[in-house]
């Protein structure tokens, strides 16, 4: 039987990056976070002949695409590929001895103003999806709205000296929604709805190379209370969700009771997410990505169960492993 094999296929400004260019011990790390950060790629190279620090040095802003290719993985003839997307090269580091380097890239739109240009604007009589459509159109990417239950109306909101990425990430988070930038698309999704989906894979004790588990009670809540002043009557109003004896109390602006309830629900769910975490290193599995759920079996007691993937980092070099950062799906989300 042929041994399993994995490699990263890289294309830099439209030309293939060969194994010889990276070096025999080079490694590619692709990191796929679920929310709030862009995908990244880091390429470790052996630059014995100083070519990468010289003629081959990429220009900042050069583009790179990456795929993970596996051969004879779970069985002979099991050949698959996974598209990691497109990256803008933005960071280079060289050191010695021996002479090595790291070239890093980030998944961002071609229009870099999405993350750099600060804007001030008042949005009125809008919706969360409509704001996203305007922002993504300006960045030259498409908006994927993967949220059940309709749009979120917004009476008024201020964007004050914030870039579009920062502003929209914060605004979506206010209503319990997350952002994922991938392949020139900005995906808006409901993490609690994704956590309710069926697991994509089962991780068994024998699959785990290293692990670390942590749980806490402090900072978790069974309900919430949000106090706001009615913009029309100036009456102080409280919106509540859940119940029990661990209540998160917050105050701020809200358009109405429904708006306040959305905001406090988002705050409670955000506080409770990650109360129990598990980090594992496993053999690489193409297609296992952040935002999916997995089942962990055989670890015993409270460690077993269903987990949401907060981050998946793939390492391809002498082998292919994945480091997964997981949050336990414990039920009871609001």
DSSP 8-state symbol, 58: P
Do residues 74 and 57 make contact, with C-beta atoms less than 8 angstroms apart? Answer: no
What's residue 221's pLDDT?
92
| Cα 266 from Cα 271, distance rounded (Å) | 9
Task: Specify the long-range contacts of residues 116-121, CB closer than 8 Å, at least 24 apart.
Answer: 116/163, 117/163, 117/164, 118/161, 118/162, 118/163, 119/159, 119/161, 119/162, 119/163, 119/164, 119/167, 120/158, 120/159, 120/160, 120/161, 121/158, 121/159
**pLDDT, averaged in runs of 10, over the chain (334 residues):** 84 79 77 88 86 80 88 85 88 87 82 83 94 93 90 92 94 94 87 95 96 88 94 90 92 93 95 95 93 96 96 92 95 66
Q: What is the pLDDT of residue 334?
A: 67
Residue 322, pLDDT score: 96
**Residues facing 10 on adjacent strands:** 17, 66
Determine the Cα–Cα distance for residues 103 and 60; give it in Å rounded to an integer: 10
* Host H or E run for residue 174: helix 164-174
Report how far residue 61's alpha carbon sits from residue 91's, in angstroms, rounded to the nearest whole number: 10
- pLDDT at residue number 1: 64
pLDDT of residue 333: 67
SS3 285: coil
Please tell me whether the overall predicted TM-score, pTM, comes out greater than 0.75 for this model: yes
């Amino acid at each position: 039987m042929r041994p399993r094999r994995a490699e990263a296929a890289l294309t830099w400004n439209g030309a293939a990056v060969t194994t010889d260019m990276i070096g025999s011990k080079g490694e590619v790390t692709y990191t796929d976070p679920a929310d709030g950060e862009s995908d990244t790629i880091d390429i470790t190279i052996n630059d014995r002949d100083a070519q990468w620090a010289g003629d081959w040095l990429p220009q900042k802003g050069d583009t790179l695409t990456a795929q993970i290719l596996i051969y004879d993985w779970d069985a002979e003839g099991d050949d698959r590929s996974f598209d990691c997307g497109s990256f803008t090269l933005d960071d280079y580091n060289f050191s010695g001895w021996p002479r090595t380097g790291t070239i890093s890239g980030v998944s961002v739109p071609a229009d870099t103003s999405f993350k750099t240009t600060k804007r001030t604007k008042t949005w009125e009589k809008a919706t969360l999806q409509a704001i996203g459509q305007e922002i993504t159109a300006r960045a030259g990417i498409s908006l994927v709205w993967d949220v059940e239950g309709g749009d979120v109306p917004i009476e008024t909101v201020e964007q004050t000296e914030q870039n579009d990425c920062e502003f929209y990430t914060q605004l979506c988070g206010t209503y319990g929604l997350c952002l994922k930038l991938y392949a020139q698309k900005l995906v808006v999704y409901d993490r609690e709805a994704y956590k309710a989906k069926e697991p994509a894979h089962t991780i068994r004790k024998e699959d785990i190379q290293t692990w670390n588990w942590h749980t806490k009670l402090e900072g978790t809540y069974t309900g919430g209370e949000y106090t706001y002043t009615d913009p029309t009557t100036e009456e102080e109003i409280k919106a509540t969700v859940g119940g029990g004896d661990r209540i998160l109390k917050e105050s701020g602006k809200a358009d109405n009771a429904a708006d306040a309830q959305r905001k406090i629900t988002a705050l409670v769910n955000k506080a409770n997410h990650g109360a129990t975490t598990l980090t594992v290193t496993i053999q690489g599995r193409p297609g296992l990505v952040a935002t999916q759920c997995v089942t962990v079996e055989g670890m015993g007691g409270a460690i077993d169960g269903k987990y949401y993937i907060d981050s998946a980092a793939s390492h391809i070099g002498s082998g292919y492993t994945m480091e997964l950062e997981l949050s336990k799906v414990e039920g009871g989300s609001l």
